[in-house]
Amino acid sequence: MRNRLVLPLLLTILFFSVGSYAIEMEGLYTVEIEVSDRNRETRLDAHKKALKEVFVRISGNIASVHHPKLTAAINNAGRYVQQYQYKEETTIQKSNVLESSDLEIKKIELKKLYLVDLFDRHAVEKLLKESELPIWGSSRPSTLVWLAIEENGQRQIISANDRGVVKDIIANAAKYRAIPVRLPLLDLIDHNKITVADIWGGFVEVILDASARYQSQAVLIGKLFQDKDELWQVDWKLFQGKESQHWQSKSGAVELLIASGLNTVADRLSIQYAQRFDKSGLGQFDIVVEPVQSFEEIESVRKYLTNINGIKNVRMLQISANSVRFMLNVEGQIDAVMQTISLGNLLSLQESELSPVEPDSDVMKQHKEDSWKPYEIPFMSYRYIHH
């Protein structure tokens, strides 16, 4: 019976750790949809909603669901479901009830029913490739969110230790787009570097300096407040490397404003890291990794490269005193693959060069002579990060 199958763990959104540049996202093809009952029509409708979410997660593009091929697939979503099961969840809600002259806290049980879908990864990726849409792998850069809120004359920064509704809203928005999000710890180290006034005043250098310990690729800064019409307004600033973006949104719903910020982050990151598969086939380029000090380190690099989305083949060309050269066959955008290689906290991108190679060398023999100019084989240089 399908409803007895145990499905993989859903996405984990990180709010607490200080650490690696990229996070391996689990459960990208598993989606949980709240349903009212176990009827067939309800289930089929939930399959459609779930497949939409998978297309957005994997393509990194919220508009991808409007592609004609994907629209047709959504209307027949059941054929892409590999497994499904129902899950019941009971939560306790506390409410204050006034009985006679005493204020009593009453506990109310709330029961919810979810349909959990696991989609066929190969079928989904095949459809995206046929539609010439990007595929974003499971290794994704993290985003640090500094969100300050003004309410009832008080301002506060949302932290990893908060238990309020805003933290849950951030988690749900990040889960929908499948991006790893960090919230600041606001521990003694943070308090010595930054205050809510720094965020409210837009002191970017102070904020980015305080962000360095979290080692995130992107930093999202937000000010959330109510205007004179009592509409919620947010002022967002996104910093990614040397690039920045600024925009404002206004709505009666805080959920929509927070989603707008994380949607922009996901869109920007997916443009940089997602692989686009077109009709041109495989690309090819070399990388040189240094310094490597043992065959164990060389093998760890080879295995790491083999597991990167978009790299179809890894061939070792040359070993020198403290470096190793690989030739990579790449499907999709080479620039995106080069960026992805740097995400795993093992290799750090240094520079692009033209490598002079002797005509009769093993490196030259393993390249097609009509593919490259003689003596000029492009390669990317990466630094091996020793741990």
Where residue 282 falls among pLDDT bands split at 50, 70, 90? low
Q: How many residues does this entry show for the chain?
A: 387
My answer on whether 295 and 369 are in the same domain is yes
4 belongs to a structural domain:
no
My answer on whether 70 and 207 are in the same domain is no
Q: Which of 120, 136, 152 is the last residue of a domain?
A: 136
Where residue 58 falls among pLDDT bands split at 50, 70, 90? very high
Domain that holds residue 22: 14-27+138-276
My answer on whether 149 and 244 are in the same domain is yes
Handedness of CA 8, 10, 16, 20 (dihedral sign): positive
Phi, psi of 28, deg, nearest 5: -60, -30
**Separation of alpha carbons 285 and 328, rounded Å:** 6
101 belongs to a structural domain:
yes
My answer on whether 147 and 114 are in the same domain is no
270 neighbors 332 (Cβ within 8 angstroms)? no
246 belongs to a structural domain:
yes
My answer on whether 294 and 308 are in the same domain is yes
My answer on whether 216 and 241 are in the same domain is yes
5 belongs to a structural domain:
no
pLDDT given at position 376: 42
Where residue 333 falls among pLDDT bands split at 50, 70, 90? confident
- The number of folded domains in the chain is 3
Does residue 8 have a cis bond before it (omega within 30 degrees)? Answer: no
pLDDT given at position 187: 96
173 neighbors 180 (Cβ within 8 angstroms)? no
Q: Which of 276, 307, 332 is the last residue of a domain?
A: 276
My answer on whether 147 and 241 are in the same domain is yes
Report for 241-250, 277-286, 325-334: range of highest mean pLDDT: 241-250
Residue 94: is its pLDDT beyond 70?
no
The residues with which 92 forms a beta bridge, in sequence order, are 109
Q: Which of 51, 85, 136 is nearest to 340 (CA)?
A: 136
**Separation of alpha carbons 144 and 20, rounded Å:** 12
- Over range 323-342, report the average pLDDT: 84
My answer on whether 296 and 270 are in the same domain is no
My answer on whether 20 and 153 are in the same domain is yes
**Separation of alpha carbons 47 and 273, rounded Å:** 28
218 neighbors 141 (Cβ within 8 angstroms)? yes
Cα 304 off chain centre by:
19
Where residue 132 falls among pLDDT bands split at 50, 70, 90? confident
8 belongs to a structural domain:
no
**Separation of alpha carbons 21 and 81, rounded Å:** 32
9 belongs to a structural domain:
no
Please give the model's pTM, rounded to 2 decimal places. Answer: 0.72
- Over range 70-79, report the average pLDDT: 97
- Each residue's pLDDT tens digit, 6-34: 344 344 445 545 555 678 898 999 999 99
My answer on whether 354 and 369 are in the same domain is yes
pLDDT given at position 349: 84
Distances from the Cα of 306 to the Cα of 94, 276, 380, angstroms: 51, 18, 17
Domain CATH for 265: 3.40.50
**Separation of alpha carbons 52 and 201, rounded Å:** 39
My answer on whether 228 and 360 are in the same domain is no
pLDDT given at position 377: 47
Distances from the Cα of 216 to the Cα of 156, 276, 304, angstroms: 22, 24, 21
